[in-house]
Amino acid sequence: MEIIEIEFKGIKLLVGGTYIPPEEPVRYYNDMSGHPGSNSDFDINEIFVEETDIYELFGEKDLETIKDLTIEKIEE
């Protein structure tokens, strides 16, 4: 699990979770199968402000934004 510090709405958050790197597309393998590739992802497990886990306070839209900010920070 990785812990990444981001700023969300002016508040410093420590976001804990698992980073999944992007996969490049593969046109064809020898057996003529392929893989379309995938974008990077971050599976959030916890969000801390100081010593308090506030994950449950966020709605789906905010969690998506936090995930995107976390991925941006990792991939800088």
Q: Exposed/middle/buried for 42, CB within 10 Å: 0-12, 13-18, 19+?
A: buried
**pTM recorded for the entire structure:** 0.85
> What pLDDT is attached to residue 26?
78
Instruction: List, for residues 24-75, the tens digit of each pLDDT value.
Output: 887 777 776 777 889 999 999 999 999 999 999 999 999 999 999 999 999 9
* Residues contacting residue 39 through CB under 8 Å, at least 6 positions apart: 22
> What pLDDT is attached to residue 62?
98
72 φ, ψ to 5°? Answer: -55, -45
